[in-house]
Amino acid sequence: MKKLILLSFALCIFHLGNAQKLKFGIAGGINMAEVQFNENNQVDITNTLKTAFNGGIFGQVSFLKGKLILQPEIMYSAEGFTSKIDDSDPNTPSDQKQVNTKLNFLSVPITVILKPTKFFNIQFGPEFGYLLKAVASGDVDKSNVTEFYNRPELGLNMGIGTTIGGLVNVNLRYNRGLTKLFDGSTSEMAGEDGNSSGSQLPAGATEILNNMFQVSVGLNISSLLGGAN
């Protein structure tokens, strides 16, 4: 899957580079991530956003005298969430386990940028992701739980941005997951043996969709090297 994502990005860059003059650069910023749970009232998510970072490269091709821009990207994205899991019989009181889950993604957003004015733009488009690693910790033993997650992911980005001097891009985006990131049991989420955890939730009872805000700053290297703005 990773090779397919990289190949798709390379082919897109090659095609666009032959159609128009290509700009390229680097970008980085912060993620404010959480997830949406669909469950049976045995899993709670905290309201606190998990802050992590993102970074990578982008290409740009302009159309309609710069009013329309197609921007493919390859980004590393650190995400995650905190959950509280009740493994007991729901009819009896018990302590909850707090599970901190860290997620590392390779993401390929394909962003369409509309520029109604020189200093303001509107952004939207799909994002193709591949989960590199998932780690659970907290009130459970730290463990790699990647195998329990659905590694390919499809999402939708929308946001706004501005360009400063044709050199620096500042973006604010909201990303909504469209495919299930997880659809397993609470014991799998915590990285525990399902036979010993006492979980009352069977496989498939807990579903997770990604939900994230991103702030990033991009540097247009081609403009820095003397390319057209």
Going by C-alpha positions, the residue among 107, 105, 110 that lies closest to residue 12 is 110
Q: Which domain holds residue 127?
A: 2-224
The answer to whether residue 20 sits within a structural domain is: yes
Q: Confidence class of residue 26 from pLDDT cuts 50, 70 and 90? A: very high
The answer to whether residue 118 sits within a structural domain is: yes
Task: Name the range with the highest mean pLDDT among 18-22, 43-47, 111-115, 139-143.
Answer: 111-115
pLDDT digits (tens, 9 = 90+) for 167-212: 999 999 999 999 999 988 888 888 876 544 444 444 446 788 899 9
The answer to whether residue 229 sits within a structural domain is: no
pLDDT digits (tens, 9 = 90+) for 69-96: 999 999 999 999 888 877 555 555 556 7
The answer to whether residue 93 sits within a structural domain is: yes
**Cβ atoms of 72 and 13 closer than 8 Å:** yes
CATH code assigned at 33: 2.40.160.20
Task: Write out the two tokens for 91.
Answer: 């009819």
Residue 53 has a pLDDT of 94
Residue 57 has a pLDDT of 97
pTM over 0.85: no
Cβ–Cβ contacts within 10 Å for residue 6, how many?
14
Number of domains in the chain: 1
The answer to whether residue 121 sits within a structural domain is: yes
Between these two residues, 211 and 17, which has the higher pLDDT value?
211
The answer to whether residue 8 sits within a structural domain is: yes
**Mean pLDDT score of the chain, rounded to an integer?**
82
What span, in angstroms and rounded, lies between the C-alpha atoms of 47 and 117? Answer: 36
Long-range Cβ contacts of 129-134 (<8 Å, 24+ apart): 129/77, 129/105, 129/153, 129/154, 129/155, 130/1, 130/2, 130/5, 130/105, 130/106, 131/103, 131/104, 131/105, 131/181, 132/104, 132/105, 132/106, 133/102, 133/103, 133/104, 134/101, 134/102, 134/103, 134/104
Question: Region 213-217: what's the mean pLDDT?
Answer: 96
HSE value, Cβ hemisphere, 13 Å, CA-based, for 32: 10
Task: Name the range with the highest mean pLDDT among 62-66, 123-127, 201-205, 222-226.
Answer: 123-127
Between these two residues, 88 and 48, which has the higher pLDDT value?
48
Where b means 16+ CB within 10 Å and e means fewer, 58-67 reads bbbbbeeeee
Residue 126: which residues within 8 A CB-CB, separation 6 or more? 109, 110, 154, 155, 156, 157
